[in-house]
Structure 1
Amino acid sequence: MAGCEQNKNIPYSSEEKIDNLLHQAETESIAILPIITLSEPEISVENLSLSADYLVKEENFTGRISYDLSDEWDAECVEQIIENKGFTCCLKKLKITKNQYEELCATMRIYHSNQIPLLKNEFESLQSLNDSTSAKIQSAIDSMQAKAYTKDQFLNAIDQLRKTYKEQLITQRIASKNLSRLSIQYRNILNKIRSILDEKQFSSFYRCHKK
């Protein structure tokens, strides 16, 4: 599992470092890989098909992981991936002061609070898309069992559903502007982290988190 890896090509300016980390998170969120389960006809994407950087919260930094039932998407997320790929992984590797630690904790509380309505909207949109696609998967299975589809026709239908799902998800995100809004919040916290850390610490953070 990738995460906390070193990259020697370090930009000089903090602004460029932040731009690169933002681009990385956006790219990860665009790399949608829908998973189709045929035993219980359904389709899903891991961690709402969002970069772990958009999903981290204070507990990922402090190590006191809890599951807030109000965060409906928690059940849909793989906490280990968030732990290993989210930016808190690299923050935890830094040698920081008590004041820096407290400032970072407060900053991440605000960050998660700002992300909640956007993540909730993404979750609800995904649930609706998943339900409609699952019904189409079941219809394809019924057609094959009724011998209306050959095996090849069935596999082609499932592959087309996967492609259509990805296209619809991208279209939904463009319309809702959720991804761009999540990115704005991520840029804000990266700027805040930069203001809390000294230059050497921020460079170490960047080198660790830039894949």
Structure 2
Amino acid sequence: MRLVVAMTGATGAALGIRLLEALGQLGIETHLILSDWARATIKMETDTSVEAVRALATHTYSARDLAAGISSGSFRTDGMVVCPCSMKTLAAIRIGFSDNLITRAADVTLKERRKLVLVAREAPLSEIHLENMHYLARAGAVIFPPMVAYYARPTSVDEVTNYVVGRVIDQLGIEHNLINRWKEDQTPVRVNGHRHLAEADDWLVNNHR
């Protein structure tokens, strides 16, 4: 399997790094594009060097390299993830403004009817942001804000990061075991005290009619 992964300057560099690590562990061929501001954000938010991030990918590109293979629809891939995705990049993708390799590769992904996942990092969202997301969702993109799954009861930032990355990988149809899934492993869940899943279901039915 071959995927394009792009990182922009939005906060959340750890998400992109963990995604690359996970895809590498799963044996996925990755084509990484780093924007200039992604490099800066990696330095500001993490202890991982830009060189180490590049080493996680199978192939790496400058965002200025519009002659790269992944800028053409004839270069076959199985999809693309922009993680994290800034609102500037999201807006450019929405209008087909392919002024760099990230937005061009995303444009190609959409026109070739491949899976495009945008891990949109911004809060709160303006009407402009929401309209851009709505338009792209109708065009076939998956808009994936990196929300905290409180039901998973995370105890660290790493657990939150792993969960988000696991769910992003789900969107690509790739099997993995990065996360504990709701009720699949029958892990006990705390509802009104310590209860097992079946008991929690009974409690919800009896108390929320």
Do they superpose with TM above 0.5? Answer: no
Higher relative contact order (CA 8 A, sep 6+): 1
Larger relative helix fraction: 1
TM-score interval for Structure 1 and Structure 2 normalised by the shorter chain: under 0.3
Structure of higher CA gyration radius: 1
- Given the two structures, how large is their TM-score scaled by the length of structure 1? 0.25
Larger relative strand fraction: 2
- Given the two structures, how large is their TM-score scaled by the length of structure 2? 0.25
